Every structure is written in structure tokens, then in C-alpha cells.
Amino acid sequence: MKILMVLTSHDQLGDTGKKTGFWLEEFAAPYYVFKDAGAEVTLASHKGGQPPLDPSSNTDDTQTEATKRFKQDEAAQKQLAETDVLSSVSPEGFDAVFYPGGHGPLWDLAEDADSRALIEAFASSDRPVGAVCHAPAVFRHTKGQDGKPLVSGKTVTGFTNTEEEAVGLTDIVPFLVEDMLKANGGDYRKGDDWASFVVKDGKLVTGQNPASSEEAARELLKLL
């Protein structure tokens, strides 16, 4: 069982001068769900190498069992520091792909042609695709085999407009995940803000927010 995880390389939060990147919990929780299930996990990012960590996800109040485990796991830290360049990764040989969130993907992975081609390859071969929180941004330009947006007619979720408003970034982000999924024809669903909420439609798994990351990974595993 081989699972590809794709992370952002973008570290600037618009023109605020603040840093962003990937959200630690959204990487660590799925990573250990997959590893503990015996999966071989490959990590890739837009630029390769060490992906930028969103500093907001590394505060005392955002730590979970998975993030604490990661901070004591030198092998995992080394693997994360040496991610493959996404453009060099072939979809062949992987059983599923999973995208952790953080605000970074809104800028790079959402517009990345290699990411788009990768997702379309997984979807066309009926292999599971998962994304959590802001990572459903990667479906902005992806198409299904019918030429329509990949999420068109599919039940999906992702970071809500009200959650974005709560963190004060509505006017900073290039687009709102909820609005984009709806505009692309997705049947957008959401749970309570900040509570775990995951939906599955065929082989597409999406989670609403950081709290949804472990459940989203478990749902992806069930498809394997």
C-alpha cells in the first residue's frame, strides 16, 4: 500500500508580511494514520525539500498527540525535510494521494499544473484522492473525464467561510475554499466550525478543518 502526500511550498500570507505554509496537525495526523496501517508514505511538495510550516500551527494550544509524536520522530522529520519535487513524481505505483492543508496551498498547489495532472490521473483511474481544510483548493482547476470541474456534482467540504472569517483572513486569501467548491458545482456540505467533519463521494474524501484530518485519513484508508 503506497500513499503519496503532497504539501505546499508557499510561505507568504498574502502581503501581510506574515508566514504561512502547511498546518502541522493536518500533516502529522494523516501521516501516522497511514504509517500505523503499514502504508509506505512518499512525501512531495511544490518545490521539494523542506516545506514551510505555518507558525500558527506550532503553538502550544495547537498541539495534538500526532504533532507531539512527530516532534520526537527524527525519521519522520528527516523525511519531511527531503520531500520530492512534485513535478518529478509520477502517479504510477501509488494507491492514493492525500493533501494536507494550511493556507499555503491556496497560492501554489491550487495553480500547480503538475498537481492538477496528478489528481486527474488518480481520479481517472478510480484511485482515492483526499484533501483536508484548505487543501481542497487543489480542486480549483482540476477536471473530470467529462471536462467538467472534478468536484462538479460531488459532495465535498473544506474550510468554511465562517472559519476563514474567524481567523481574520477573508480579505487576505486569494479565494475562499467554500465559495470555490460551490462555484465549481460541488455539493458543498459543512459541520460545526472547528469540529471534525468529513465527507466521502466515491473515491473523493474531503475534510473541513484541522480537526478533520485524522478522520479524513481513516476514510481514505477504508477505500484501500
- Where in the chain are the domains? 2-222
What is the phi/psi pair of residue 159, to 5°?
Answer: -50, 130
Average pLDDT over residues 200-223: 98
In the chain, the N- to C-terminal Cα span, in Å, equals 8
Nearest CA to 202 out of 152, 139, 147, 154 is that of 154
- For the stretch 109-156, pLDDT in tens is 999 999 999 999 999 999 999 999 999 999 999 999 999 999 999 999
Crossing angle between the packed helical segments 213-222 and 24-36, to the nearest 10 degrees:
30
Assign 206 a pLDDT band (cuts: 50, 70, 90): very high
Average pLDDT over residues 86-115: 97
Report the percentage of the chain scoring pLDDT > 70: 100
- Residue 130: the pLDDT is 98
Cβ distance 20 to 104 under 8 Å?
Answer: yes
Assign 218 a pLDDT band (cuts: 50, 70, 90): very high
- Residue 212: the pLDDT is 98
**Which CATH number applies to 2-222?**
3.40.50.880
Average pLDDT over residues 162-170: 97
Q: Is 69 exposed, middle or buried (0-12, 13-18, 19+ CB in 10 A)?
A: middle
**For all residues of the chain together, what is the average pLDDT?**
97
Alpha helices in the chain (DSSP H): 24-36, 65-71, 74-81, 113-124, 161-166, 177-183, 213-222
Residue 196: CA count within 13 A, CB half-sphere: 12
Report the percentage of the chain scoring pLDDT > 90: 100
Assign 85 a pLDDT band (cuts: 50, 70, 90): very high
- Residue 141: the pLDDT is 98
What the block records as the C-alpha cell of 55 is 507558525
Assign 49 a pLDDT band (cuts: 50, 70, 90): very high
What is the phi/psi pair of residue 22, to 5°?
Answer: -95, 155
